[in-house]
């Protein structure tokens, strides 16, 4: 999460959507005058930010990044397996990483998707409790580089490069190969609202 109180904007960091790269690119330019205790380090839900930090949420521009749900959960799984020894101890993210070490990809998918009840990963971070999206600009992960400079202009920030971080180097064919029809259907069910809203299609 980033909040710039001078320019009045909020970045809601959805896991595995280039959030670390975005924070690295613009974090030093932001007027960050509040520290928010985070369950996942830098990841907080928009509804939590609004409730605890910004009751005047509507006065701020807000944005988040959405990603193809099937690619998203695949990237998340392998990221957790890589991060188990460096994730902050005693955090939910560390617990998630520890579990991922013992889970097959299929087990991870079911564990992550079933609690979402169709609301989706993006919806979990960006929506309120009624399922309404709280952010007023959504950037697609797949076109982030093309949308980056217009986004900076909208935020009243100077042009600055976006350098990828924590990159999963799997090719599309690699992550698609790990999916069975059952896993494809599981993600489709868990992220139904995200898929409907953004028009993503199954691998």
Q: Read off φ and ψ for residue 137, nearest 5 degrees.
A: -145, 125
Cα(64)–Cα(87) distance, rounded to whole angstroms? 23
Q: Give the pLDDT confidence score for residue 172 in this predicted structure.
A: 53
**CB-CB neighbours of 120 under 10 Å:** 27
- β-bridge partners, 62: 10
For the chain, 203 residues long, give each residue's pLDDT as a single digit of tens. 888 989 999 999 998 999 989 999 998 888 875 555 555 445 578 998 888 777 899 999 999 999 999 999 999 999 999 998 988 888 888 899 999 999 999 999 999 999 999 999 999 999 998 999 999 999 999 999 999 999 999 999 999 999 877 666 555 557 788 999 999 999 999 999 999 999 999 98
Architecture category of domain 2-198 in CATH: 3-Layer(aba) Sandwich (3.40)
Cα(115)–Cα(133) distance, rounded to whole angstroms? 19
């Amino acid at each position: 999460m980033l909040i710039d109180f001078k320019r009045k904007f909020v970045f809601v960091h959805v896991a595995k959507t280039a959030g670390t790269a975005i924070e690295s690119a613009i974090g030093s330019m932001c007027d960050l005058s509040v520290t928010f205790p985070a369950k996942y380090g830098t990841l907080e839900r928009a509804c939590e930010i609004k409730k605890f930090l910004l009751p005047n949420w509507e006065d701020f521009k807000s944005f988040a990044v959405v990603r193809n749900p099937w690619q998203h959960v695949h990237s998340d799984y392998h990221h957790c397996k890589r991060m188990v020894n460096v994730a902050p101890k005693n955090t939910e993210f560390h617990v998630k990483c520890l579990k991922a070490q013992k889970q097959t990809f299929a087990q991870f998918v079911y564990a992550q998707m079933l609690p979402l009840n169709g609301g989706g990963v993006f919806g979990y971070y960006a929506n309120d409790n009624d399922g309404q999206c709280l952010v007023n600009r959504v950037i697609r992960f797949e076109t982030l580089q093309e949308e980056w400079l217009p986004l900076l202009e909208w935020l009243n920030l100077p042009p600055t490069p976006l350098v990828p971080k924590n990159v999963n180097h799997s090719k599309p064919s690699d992550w698609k190969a790990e999916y069975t029809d059952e896993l494809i259907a599981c993600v489709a069910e868990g992220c139904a609202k995200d898929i409907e809203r953004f028009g993503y299609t199954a691998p």
